[in-house]
Amino acid sequence: MTWLKVILFAIAAGVYTGAVMLVPRLEGTSFQDIGISYEWWVIFAVIIVVNCKNCWGAMLKCFVFFLISQPIVYIVEILFGSLSFDMGWYYYSNFWLPMTFLTLPGGLIAYFCRKQNVLGGIVLGLGNTIQASLVLVYFGMAIKQFPFHLLSGLVCVASIIVMTLFIQKKKAIRLIAILLPIVLTAAIAVLAKMSGRVLF
């Protein structure tokens, strides 16, 4: 993926997300989850890293993508009055700015998900675990207030399947990438229940 494509991708993602967040009738639905949660941003990051020629390019391009896209989201919301400057800066500086810097090691590690070996399966499985944990969250929310957030849950399930089939070619490695998030997400759910916390 060229730098120009990364920059255009970042601008498009930022403008779209900011615009969706301006629509009051979409509040609380799956359509605004892109501006609140991170399942789509995991997908965007994977698209970038698997289309890079080396790990350093993946790291830097992933970082630049988030460095451009996330401020644009808040700029759009601030310009159109959906958020005040103070609130926009608060959300960005407390969540997405730290997350943006985490994409430096994250993009470097994520690059290896394309390796057709056990390491590739484990790295992809860890990425799939993020999506799998959100499946529990979204389906739990959908049960409480059907059908809100059901679409986001289905997107997470579909992303796990599509990313695994597209990135990994060997059946054994695909199995690792699918089983690892199931085991880890189940462990997270059990630990959450034991500690008295809820996932949704």
Q: Report the alpha-carbon distance of residue 89 to residue 120 in Å, rounded.
A: 37
What mean pLDDT is predicted for residues 93-111?
94
Residue written as tokens 């229940």? 193
108 CB burial (10 A radius; 0-12, 13-18, 19+): middle
Global pTM value:
0.90
Cβ contact 150:139 at 8 Å:
yes
- Residue-wise pLDDT tens digits, 23-78: 998 888 899 999 999 999 999 999 999 999 999 999 999 999 999 999 999 999 99
Residues contacting residue 141 through CB under 8 Å, at least 6 positions apart: 148, 149, 200
Q: Are 107 and 59 in contact (CB under 8 A)?
A: yes
